[in-house]
Amino acid sequence: MSHYQAPLRDMKFHIDEVLDFASHYAGFAQGREATPDIVDAVLESAAQFAQDVLAPLDSVGDAAGCVWKEGEVTTPPGFKAAYENYIANGWTSLSMPLELGGQGLPASLSGFCMEIHATANHAWTMYPGLSMGGIQTIAAHASDDIKTRYLPNLIAGRWSATMCLTEAHCGSDLGLLRTRAVPAGDGSYRITGSKIFISSGEHDLTDNIIHIVLARLPDAPAGIKGISLFVVPKFHVDEHGRPGARNAVRCGSIEHKMGIHGNATCVMNFDEASGYLISPPHKGMACMFTFINESRMGVAQQALAQMEASHQTALQYARERVQFRAAQRPNPEAAADPIIQHPDVRRMLLTQKAFAEGGRALSYFLAKQTDIERYAAEESAKETADQLLSLLTPVAKGFLSEVCMEATSYGIQVLGGHGYIREWGQEQHFRDARITSIYEGTTGIQGLDLLARKILASRGEALKPFVQVVTEFCQQYPNGPYTATLQKQLQSWIAMTTELGMKAMQNPDEVNAAAYDYLMFSGYTVLAWIWAEASSVASAALEKSPSAPDRAFYTAKLVTARFYFERLLPRTLSLAASMRSGVANLPEFPGLE
C-alpha cells in the first residue's frame, strides 16, 4: 500500500533556509542555471515521477523479484517501462557535463532527486544509481579513449554500470581477491574470476552493462597494494562507442535475499573476458574509492529514504487507528482515541522523524561539499570540502544505516500486527533497510575508517574542519535554543577521541573494540549540530513572522529538536561508558565456545 508523498517542504527548508543553496549555486558556473525556480521545477517533477511511477512498483518488485534464466535476468513487471520513462525525461544526465551530453546542473540537485526516487522505490533506483558511480570513476581515472567509448551512453542511460569488488572467499577483505588480469598483447587484458553480491550485475533495462572490476596483474604484489582496476563491458565496444559481440562475462546466478528483491544481486563470472585498465597498475583501490565513496553516500540516502517512507505510513496510520482511551482525550464521548494520542506512539514517531529529517540535513550538507569539491575555483575551498567529506561520509553511511533499522522497526511497531503483515508495506521497509548497514562496508568497517584511518592516523587533525563548522554556527547563533548543549557535546566528542587515542597507544585492539560505539557517538553528535541549526533557523523564522502560514512546520522543528536533545542525544552517555569499558570485556574465547 503506497501513499508516498515527497517531503518537498522539508527538503526546501534545508535547501533554501538552512544551507542557502541559492547563494551556493550562484557561486560557480555549473550552478548558475540552477535558479530557485529551476530547482523547484526539477524537484516537483522528480516527486511526480516518484509518486506516480516508482512508488506503485515498490511492492510489485518485492513480490515478483528478479528472474534468472540461462544467464539472463528479467526485472519485475513495470521496471523496464519505468526505466525507459526515466531516461526519456533526462534524469540520468541531469548533473552531467554539457560537453558529454549532460544538462550541466549541479551534482547536489541530482542527489536531491535521487533521494526522492529512492524513497519511492529503493530497489529500482539502484539500477541508475550505480551508474552514477561508474560514470564518476571512468571520468576521474580512465584514458580519453575509454571516456569517449563509454561515457556518452552511460550518461544517456542507454548503458548502466556496476562495481565488481568482492569474491566468495574474501568478503570485505579485498586484499585477498584472486581475479586475475593477463595482458592480451593488444592493450586489453583477459579477466578471469568470479565476483559475488554484484548489484544490478545483469538485467534487461539497458543495452549494455559496464562492469568496473578489481583484478590482479601477473606481477602484482600480494595484498591490497596489488590490485588494479578495469572496465569490462557485457558487449564489446568499438572505437566509436558502438556495442558489438558478447564479451565472456556471464551472470551465474542471482541471490535469494532478505530484501531489495527488485534489484538483481548477481554472481558474475569472467572467463577471459576482455577488459581495459583504467587505473595505474596496482593502484586500483585508490581509484575504486571514487566509486566506493559515491556509493557510500548513496547508501546513506537509501537509509534516510527508508526512514522517511516508513514514517509517512506510520504517521498516517497513527492518526487514523483508534485504540484505547488516552489520558488527555480530544473527544471524551468516543469509545477510544487515535493511537497518536498515546505518548509511547509519539515517542516512536518522533524518533523516526528526528532521524529521517536529521539524516536529510546531513545528506544535503555533504551534497553541498561535493559541489564545492568539484566546482569551486579556490583550492582552499576544495581542500576543506574534501576533508569534511572524508570525515563525515563514514558517519553518514554508518550512523544512518544503523538508526534506519531502529526507525523502520518502529514503523512496524506503530502498526502492530498490521505492520508485520505485507499489506501496509512496513515489513518491506524493514527488510529493504537491513542491507544498508552491510553493503559498501559494514558499520564496523565504517567505524574503523572513521576512528583509525581518518582521526587517529591524522592525530586528530581530521576533526578540525568540522569543529570549525560547528564553532562558526555557535558564533552565528550564540543564543540559539541548543547552542550551549551542542558546545558541550562537541567537547565531549573531542575528549573521547583523545582518550581513545591514549588507550590505543597501550593496546591497538582498543580501536577495534571502540570503533562501532565511536561511530554512533559521532553520529549523535553530528545530528546534534544538525538539530541545533534547524531549531535556530526555525526560531528565527517564527520571531520574524509569528503568524506565518508555515507556523506549524517551524513549530514541529522545535518540538523535534527538543525531543532529539532530551531523548536521543543522551544515548551518547551509555556509548561513552561502553567505550571506556575497553577491550578487556571482549575476550578471545571465553563465552564464545
For Cα atoms 504, 507, 513, give the angle at the middle one, nearest 5 degrees. 70
The pLDDT-based confidence of 213 (bands split at 50, 70, 90) is very high
Kindly tell me if the per-residue pLDDT of 206 is higher than 80: yes
Q: What average pLDDT does the segment 71-89 reach?
A: 97
C-alpha 316, offset from chain centre: 26
Is the Cβ–Cβ distance between 366 and 297 less than 8 Å?
Answer: yes
Catalytic residue at 499? no
Return the closest-CA partner of residue 355 out of 392, 419, 311: 311
More confident: 519 or 545: 519
346: enclosing H helix or E strand: helix 343-375
- The structural domain count of the chain equals 1
For Cα atoms 357, 361, 364, give the angle at the middle one, nearest 5 degrees. 135
Percent of the chain beyond pLDDT 70?
99
- Residue 449 CA to residue 387 CA, distance in Å, equals 14
Position 1 scores a pLDDT of 55
Position 325 scores a pLDDT of 77
Task: List the catalytic residue out of 357, 440, 510, 533.
Answer: 440
Q: What average pLDDT does the segment 70-95 reach?
A: 96
Q: Does residue 238 form part of some domain?
A: no
Q: Does residue 490 form part of some domain?
A: yes
Looking at residue 338, the DSSP 8-state letter turns out to be B
The pLDDT-based confidence of 510 (bands split at 50, 70, 90) is very high
Q: Report which residue type is found at 2.
A: S
The pLDDT-based confidence of 18 (bands split at 50, 70, 90) is very high
Question: Where is average pLDDT lowest: 155-169, 293-307, 324-338, 569-583?
Answer: 324-338
pLDDT tens for 436-491 read 999 999 999 999 999 999 999 999 999 999 999 999 999 999 999 999 999 999 99
Q: Does residue 574 form part of some domain?
A: yes
Task: Give the structural domain span for 503.
Answer: 460-583
The pLDDT-based confidence of 591 (bands split at 50, 70, 90) is low
Q: Does residue 528 form part of some domain?
A: yes
Residues in the chain: 593
Q: What average pLDDT does the segment 503-508 reach?
A: 95
- Residue 188 CA to residue 29 CA, distance in Å, equals 38
| Grid cell at residue 216 | 590482479
Q: Does residue 391 form part of some domain?
A: no
How many Cβ atoms are within 10 Å of 591's Cβ, its own excluded? 8
Kindly tell me if the per-residue pLDDT of 593 is higher than 70: no
Q: Does residue 93 form part of some domain?
A: no
Q: Does residue 106 form part of some domain?
A: no
Kindly tell me if the per-residue pLDDT of 592 is higher than 70: no
C-alpha distances in angstroms, 3 versus 56, 59, 310, 409, 433?
9, 12, 11, 19, 18
- Residue 300 CA to residue 62 CA, distance in Å, equals 21
In this structure, are strands 159-164 and 208-215 parallel, antiparallel, or unpaired?
parallel
Helix residue ranges, H only, 271-342: 284-320
pLDDT tens for 574-584 read 999 999 999 99
Q: At what angle do helices 107-120 and 36-49 cross, to 10 degrees?
A: 20
Tell me what the pLDDT averaged over the chain comes to. Answer: 95
Kindly tell me if the per-residue pLDDT of 103 is higher than 90: yes
pTM to 2 decimals? 0.96
Kindly tell me if the per-residue pLDDT of 140 is higher than 90: yes
254: enclosing H helix or E strand: strand 249-254
Kindly tell me if the per-residue pLDDT of 2 is higher than 70: no
- What is the Cα Rg of the chain in Å? 24
Is the Cβ–Cβ distance between 482 and 535 less than 8 Å?
Answer: yes
* CA pseudo-torsion sign 79, 356, 365, 285: negative
| Grid cell at residue 232 | 569490462
C-alpha distances in angstroms, 564 versus 237, 403, 555?
53, 13, 14
Q: Does residue 499 form part of some domain?
A: yes
